[in-house]
Structure 1
Amino acid sequence: MADKSKSLDVAVVGGGLVGALIACFFAKRGHKVRVYEYRTDIRVAESRGQSIDLSLSHRGRAALREVGLEDLIINHHAMPMRGRMIHMKNGTLREMIYDRVNKNCIYSVSRLHLNKVLLDAAEKYPSVRLYFNEKLMEADLENGTMKFLNTSSQQIVDTKADLIIGADGAYSTVRKIMAKRPRYDCGQTYIDHGYVELFVPPKNKNEFVMSHDHLHVWPRGEFMMIALPNSDHTFTGNLFAPFRTLDYLNTPERLLKFYREQFPDVLPLIGEKKLVDDFFETGPKTLISIKCKPYHVGKTALIIGDAAHAMVPFYAQGMNTGFEDVLLLDELMQRYDSDLSKVLPKFSELRCDDAHAICDLAMYNYVEMRELVVRKSFVLRKNLDTLLYWLFPNLWMPLYDTVHFSRMGFRMCMKNKAWQDKIIQRTFWSVATMIIAIVVALMIHGFL
């Protein structure tokens, strides 16, 4: 716990998942926190907010544990998913367990529910103040000054803080201000694929229509559909496809024909009318990846979560990485006794390249989910990884496990995978060479 004499005045821009969690961590350390959120308070708003259900794994759980929220989420709301259930086009199913060795699983969590829990938790700290409908207009990051517009009253408020934390998402205003500084590296990539959110209702007796302990995947090469279970016995599904495909599905007739051909087992689960209604309610949405460096300005400003490293959702690490950001920041606050002149540069040093790595892994996993999972070579490699992990648990940990079930740095996860690939390749060629040598020797001696 920080010394009261070192109490900081912290302004968090963004009251989403990461912003609310930051407020809990800083308030726990005895700092004053003001959270400014552009949207209306989602706890009283009618809108569902941002889509795509979340997958909670080890990194995110570790952060929630530090503020006493892990049990509330895991044991009272989240749905455990022990593996993928692959739906082939011919109707057959193939199960792929995430962790056969240690039986770890990931958890499906409603974004809306989790955000409400975090906001409630933050608000319980006397040193936290939540402000909604507040749009950041200007900021002097070096001096910690900000100008907000209240979108309800149209009043403008000038304020100041010791530390400004931008947790305002992929389209972060704080990052845009930061990006105007000299020698600041920042790039964004829109992939040529979008998504549409769909919903699978329960059976008549309020039962799940599919297994509720799997992440369901319908891989179709260039596109795919996924579905995650919810605690109300529904599934939240998403169709991911190139925009040319999504744009072509611009009439109910084309959409239904597409589903009859590509996802024949899904159509009766959703129902034709509901599929059409859900698909055309909002239209396709974009997927963006953000890489930038550094994440801080001096000792007065920092970006975190999607504001620093938005990623496509295919490795299910966007939220987990954002939560781990908060955990790392808290660990550095402890190490350097809340000295921001040391904490913020160290955060950028430790996190930037790691975050770039998980952005790349997320891109790769889209190819895996929509295409590679149906290949025999992929299944063979996965089974080999599982066997080696079981035989040598301290030496051989598969890539998926290092990402989801450990806090190994993401760059190290990739290096570990590259090392494993090299070992397998060398072993294969050594065995192949030995077999060829034996065959040649037998031929020379007339045994063949």
Structure 2
Amino acid sequence: MLARTDLRGSTPTLAELRRALPRGGTDVNAVLDTVAPVVHAVADRGAEAALEYGERFDGARPASVRVPAKAIADALEALDPSIADALRESITRARTVHADQRRTTTKTQVVDGGTVSEKWIPVRRVGLYVPGGNAVYPSSVIMNVVPAQEAGVGSLVVTSPPQKDFGGQPHPTILAACALLGVDEVWAVGGAQAVALLAYGGQDTDEADEPNSVLDPVDLITGPGNIYVTAAKRLCRGTVGIDSEAGPTEIAILADDSADAGILASDLISQAEHDVLAASVLVTDSADLADAVDAALDQQVATTKHRERVTTALSGEQSGIVLVDDLEAGIAVVDAYAAEHLEIQTRDAAAVADRITNAGAIFVGPYAPVSLGDYCAGSNHVLPTSGSARFASGLSVQTFLKGVHVIDYDEAALRDVADRVVTLADAEDLPGHGDAVKQRFVNGGAS
């Protein structure tokens, strides 16, 4: 089922390796011209334009952008108790992990009378996008909201596409997750129009909870979405901050002959069921294991619920098996690939995991599947895709914080270094910089 790339007996350069590995992806530039009119319309006409596009693309038009408070409360009241319990456990574990990510102010005594402090300030207001599409993602509500709350963000809004099956509101499980997290501002808008409305704001309709209520713009937008959401993020970047340009989800597994083929197959399927563009890649030095995984895939795909979607993803150019000479070569391959999710299923998996430098998240051993990280590990599942794990990190408390330096020098400390500041200013042909220092010591010093 999976195409094979055989790197045995070769020593490719890093550039050659990156070109040889299975990689699909999407061309965001190809849809910018389609998305730009949506962004411009929402920037000009606000909620009315967003609702029009929601009706066109999602087949639903709620009475207002903002979801009524009663609808959020009712969704939680009607939620299956077992789902509510699972969501509470997921929230608890996510809070445990993210609370430890909080940063504190540091103060450095550079010289006597001169200090530089770094303090961390939460972003004022954030917009958290939760996709619709092939599945329902209350877990994405948790993964976005918890780190924002732990960072101390004072104002946040969750936005998710309206669903025609639910009266134009987001899926009730999404609303219930918001209720469990204490989120009282939810917008029934999705796609590029949601990103634009978050960036530019506007006035809600007369049917909102509060007539003509203001839809305040945000300072930062986080959360994954489809290619149109990603394109809108690119177009709005600068007007608003963004976390990343997320591509299709991906899993890479580094395995040796100690791994269980059935487990590997199920993990590859678990990502493939997200989307036809999802990537599932196995890297191994065992041809026998590769054959066994192919056989297990044939058996398991036949009975999986989303068989057609999974089959398309597994047979796409983005998925495959990469054969290598040994574990050393396998580590080089997965580092070059820089997967969103990387599983290590080898002997001494923890030691191997310690050697990995490029991955959004690393799952160690047979009892740490990606699906655990999706829901209840406590880690965050909003992760860098398309190889961007080489330079980017997943969503965390830091995403929602701004580091600000505070410089505090007294007269003596400035006087001591003034000549060097003037020298450097002159070297850069910026004499006004030096004059700004010298002026402080005219007539004996600043008053």
The question of a shared fold, defined as TM-score above 0.5 by the shorter chain, is answered with no
Which protein shows a greater Rg? 2
* TM-score normalised by L of structure 1: 0.28
State the structure with bigger RCO (CA 8 A, min sep 6), 1 or 2.
2
